[in-house]
Every structure is written in C-alpha cells, then in structure tokens.
Amino acid sequence: MSSTVIPFGPQHPVLPEPLHIKLVMEDERIVEAIPAIGYVHRGLEKLTETKEFTQNTFVVERVCGICSVMHAMAYCQGMEELMNIAIPDRAKFLRVIWAELHRMHSHLLWLGLLADAFGFESLFMQAWRNREKVMDIMEETCGSRVVISANIIGGTRRDLSKEQMVKINQIVDEIKEDLEQLESVFLNNYTVKHRLVGRGVLTKEDAVEYCTVGPMARASGISMDLRTTGYSAYGQLDFEPIIHSDGDNYARTYVRLHEIYQSVDLVKQAIAKIPEGEHVIPVKGVPPKGDVISRVEQPRGEVLYFMRGNGTKTLDRLRLRTPTFANIPSLLKMLPGSELSDVGMLILTIDPCISCTER
Amino acid sequence: MFKMVENVLKNLVSKPATRNYPFDKREPFKDSRGHISGCDIDVCIFCGMCQRKCPANAIVVSKPEKSWEIDQFKCVICNACVEVCPKKCIFSSAEHKSAQSFKDKLKLVQASKPVEGAEQNA
C-alpha cells in the first residue's frame, strides 16, 4: 500500500507551541513519525555564559513559564552546592511550597488543555477557573503570576507571613474540593473515557528503554519521582509517588490529576512543619572552578542542570535537559500504529513544552 | 447526575468567574511587581549597581551626565534593581503598565546643583 505524508504542525490548534511532526500514513494509521524541532530556539544557554551567575537565576526562569520556579530551584541548588552554601531551613520549605503550588497550576492547566483537545469546553473552563486561584496566590505572595522569581542563590527573595500561610491553606482546600467535583468527569465520564482508555499505550519496558521521565513514566508503572531523593525539604515530608500501570492516556490523566491532590497535601504539610528563622543568607564570592549537576522534579518530569564554574563571575557552561526533550522519543514510539484522529491527544498527553525543549 | 444539576444551578446563579476587563479592573495586589515607575533622581548617587544587576540590560546610568534611564520594553520586571539600590531610590509600582503607542525610554537627569559659594562671589 502506498503511503502518504501528512504534516502535523508547526501551527496546530491543539498546541500553542510550534512542534512539527511528519506523519507517514497508510490509510488512517500512522506507520512512522519524523519529528522536526527548533522553531523557537532562543539561545538561552549561550546567554547564560555572558551573564553574571546571580543574573542567571532570572534567565533560567524564562526557559519555561509554567515551571519557572523549578528551573530557578534547580539552578540555585546547583550553584549552592558548587559554592558550598548551606541555605536556611525556612528557605527550603518556602521553595517546596512555591514549587508545589506551581505543580498544581501546571497540572490544572494541562487538565484544561486536555479537555479542550477532546472538545469539552465547559470542563476546560472549570479547570482553568480553579487554576486562577493558584495564580492569585502567586501574585499575592511573590508579585507575579507566572515567572514569580521566588528563588535566588542563598534562599528565597520573599518570606511568607502567618496570615498568608493560613490563606494559602484555605485556598488549597477550596481547590481540592472543586477538583473532587471535576475528578469524576475526567475519570468516569463515558465519552471522555472513550478518548482516553487504551489509546497511546506505552508499556513499562518501552518506558524504561526510551528513558521516559515524570508523570509519563509513573503512568507506565515506573516508580520514579525525584522528590523521593529528598532534595530541598522533600526529605522531611511524607509522600509516595503516584503510579498507574496501564500506560495509556487515561493513566497519564489519572497520575496528573492525583498529583494535584498530592501537591495540596505537600503544601499543607510544609506549612505545618515550616521552621522559624531567616529565609535568605547573603552570598559572597564567585563560583569556584568545578562541575556540578543538579536535578529537580518538574511538573513534566526530571530536569537536569549542569554547571561549570571557572572562578569568575560568569559560568563556563550551563547545560540543561528538560523533561519534554526526554519524553519526545517515547512519543515517537507511541505514534506508529495509532489513528490520525488520536495524534493531537497523544502529543498533548506527554504535556509538551516546546520552548523548554529548544531553550 | 445530581452533582451535575447542582453545578449547572450554581453556574446559573453565581457571578461569572471573569471580569469585563477594560471597564472592570481588579485592584493590584499590594506587593505585586507591576512595573518600574521611576527613580528619585535627586537621591540617586549614580553608582550603577542597578545597571550591573539588571539581567535584561534595560537600565543605563551615566555618572558624568547624571542621568538614569530605563527602557520599559526591555525591562523584565524582576525588581533586582529595586533590591540592590543602596539608596533605595528606585520605585516599583504594583500597577501593570497598559499598552503603549510610543517606544520612548524613561530618562531622568539630575538638575545641576548650584555650586556653594558661587553666589557670594558674584
């Protein structure tokens, strides 16, 4: 049978970002997927080599808006390790609170986009209405909605007052309540399940082979969550990675939805356990010669930072690998064999962030 | 089914979640980073710390000219300049900037102070 090539993207209604995939089709089935990325390369890694190491915190935050806190967190943790700085305990807990709030808003955004992709507009609006509450917390506590610039080397830029923490506690409870109403629609609705169950299956063996990370890996039954390594204050909090064994679209929705509940729980735990004291310490000197690797669990999976200091204010090299970059091979594994009408959903369920990938 | 009816009724009765934006604006939060509204030029000592810390190269300080200049289109509103200023003379406003139809930079120049004793000699 002769094959046809259908281009997906770079502009496509399901994604706001430019991802181009050539789909080699036989009838309605995909036999091969050839990716082409590089439409939004901004040269941020090169830019970090010209900026001072303190300014880089603001540069890496702009790699990706949705996970800006975690980018800055990974960079700051790495630099603190390189420069041998022990940050105050309160700063560690504050970082966890903001990071988990960020995970909540990222997953709520994704749930909304998922609903939008299968054409459930009212569900999309309900998910985003919920998300708006998190965005308001961000603006109130940090001064900005998305790129909140909460982390600096040596701690955090702002502190949380007692009243703010009480308020955050209330709002995350509200979000949990609202989400419980939406949960049954996402997980039990007949029509929604028809688009999710059994589509885009990634087996555990394939997930291991293609080095899948984050919720994708957890939905395929791999118990891999970097937070369990106990970086920042995660070591003092009690949680278990959320795992599903099916590896299909439904499993990925299940994992992300339940991670919002987990984040609510983590925020509440961190607020209950946060110690008193300083939230930042002054940093003196410059990064010494040496290499450091820092890894952090983002909403989409593991992000890896490599930094090389040379004894001056600027870094020799900053290299970062984002979760979407790691997940694209598994997407290409999932696409062959599926139908053309499922392509949008499949690409969406890896939670792609193309601007992250291309930096 | 019952939950759905409850939700429908709630959505019919409650106010919309969105605002009628250009006419109905929300008050900005107290410490929100809206934009850098300017600098108290009479207090500024032109040390250039803000220029060096700015990650976007939006600020230009000139000691000989006694001027402080910000390009609002380059500024990423990280407030690093506000934090680093030794005289605390850079102001951050909680209000977000609206759309602009011109790209002029905000340039402030310190008025030259009268030299002491000059008047008596004249």
pTM of this prediction? 0.86
Domains and their CATH numbers in chain A: 4-358 (1.10.645.10)
Check if B42 contacts A (Cβ < 8 Å): no
Q: Å from A112 to nearest chain B CA?
A: 15
Size of interface A-B (CB pairs under 8 A): 43
Question: What stretch of H or E contains A319?
Answer: strand A315-321
Exposure of B65 in the CB half-sphere (CA atoms within 13 A)? 10
Check if B104 contacts A (Cβ < 8 Å): no
- Rounded CA-CA distance A318/A307 in Å is 5
Q: Is the peptide bond before A10 cis (omega within 30 degrees of 0)?
A: yes
Q: Closest residue of A to B80, CA-based?
A: A55
* Centroid of chain to Cα A217: 13
Cα Rg of chain B (Å, integer): 23
SS3 A269: helix
Asked if residue B48 lies in contact with residue B63, where contact means CB atoms within 8 angstroms, the answer is yes
Check if B33 contacts A (Cβ < 8 Å): yes
Q: What residues does A313 pair with on adjacent strands?
A: none
Q: What is the pLDDT of residue A28?
A: 85
Residue A144 has its nearest CB partner, among B7, B33, B52, at B33
Q: What is the pLDDT of residue B120?
A: 47
Check if B66 contacts A (Cβ < 8 Å): no
Q: Å from B90 to nearest chain A CA?
A: 17
Predicted confidence band of residue B119 (pLDDT cuts 50, 70, 90): very low
Cβ contacts of A51 on chain B, cutoff 8 Å: 55
* Centroid of chain to Cα A88: 25
Q: What is the pLDDT of residue A306?
A: 92
Question: What stretch of H or E contains A297?
Answer: strand A290-298
SS3 A7: strand
Residue B76 to residue A58, Cβ atoms within 8 A: yes
In 3D space, the residue among A14, A342, A19, A26 whose CA is nearest the CA of residue A5 turns out to be A26
Q: What is the pLDDT of residue B114?
A: 58
A278 is in an annotated binding site: no
- For residues B37-64, average pLDDT: 86
Torsion angles phi and psi, residue B91, rounded to 5 = -105, 140
Q: Closest residue of B to A183, CA-based?
A: B3
A140 is in an annotated binding site: no
Q: What is the pLDDT of residue A44?
A: 87
- Residues of chain A scoring pLDDT < 70: 1
Please check whether the domain covering B44-109 is classified as CATH 3.40.50.300.
no
In 3D space, the residue among A102, A104, A99, A103 whose CA is nearest the CA of residue A127 turns out to be A104
Determine the Cα angle at A25 with ends A20 and A27, to 5°: 145
Q: What is the pLDDT of residue A37?
A: 82
Check if A239 contacts B (Cβ < 8 Å): no
Q: What is the pLDDT of residue B121?
A: 46
Cβ contacts of B77 on chain A, cutoff 8 Å: 144
Q: Å from B1 to nearest chain A CA?
A: 11
Residue B17 to residue A139, Cβ atoms within 8 A: no
A76 is in an annotated binding site: no
Q: Closest residue of B to A143, CA-based?
A: B32
A304: phi > 0 → left, psi -120 to 50 → alpha, else beta; which?
beta
A142 is in an annotated binding site: no
* Centroid of chain to Cα A115: 19
Q: What is the pLDDT of residue A129?
A: 87
Residue B122 pLDDT greater than 60, yes or no? no
A64 is in an annotated binding site: yes
Interface test with B, best of A52, A144, A157, A314 (most B CBs within 10 A): A144
- Rounded CA-CA distance A31/A22 in Å is 11
Q: Closest residue of A to B6, CA-based?
A: A181
Q: What letter represents residue A189's amino acid?
A: N
Cβ contacts of B53 on chain A, cutoff 8 Å: 52, 54-55
What residue has token string 């992300």? Answer: A256
Predicted ipTM? 0.76
Cβ contacts of A147 on chain B, cutoff 8 Å: 76
Asked if residue A165 lies in contact with residue A173, where contact means CB atoms within 8 angstroms, the answer is no
A211 is in an annotated binding site: no
SS3 A246: coil
Asked if residue A99 lies in contact with residue A125, where contact means CB atoms within 8 angstroms, the answer is no
Determine the Cα angle at A12 with ends A11 and A17, to 5°: 65
Residue B108 pLDDT greater than 80, yes or no? no
Q: Å from A91 to nearest chain B CA?
A: 18
Residue A58 has its nearest CB partner, among B30, B52, B78, at B78
Exposure of A124 in the CB half-sphere (CA atoms within 13 A)? 9
In 3D space, the residue among A227, A212, A229 whose CA is nearest the CA of residue A298 turns out to be A227
Predicted confidence band of residue B30 (pLDDT cuts 50, 70, 90): confident
Torsion angles phi and psi, residue A70, rounded to 5 = -70, -35
Residue A143 to residue B76, Cβ atoms within 8 A: no
* Percent of chain B's residues with pLDDT above 70: 88
- What's the sign of the alpha-carbon dihedral A266, A271, A272, A276? positive
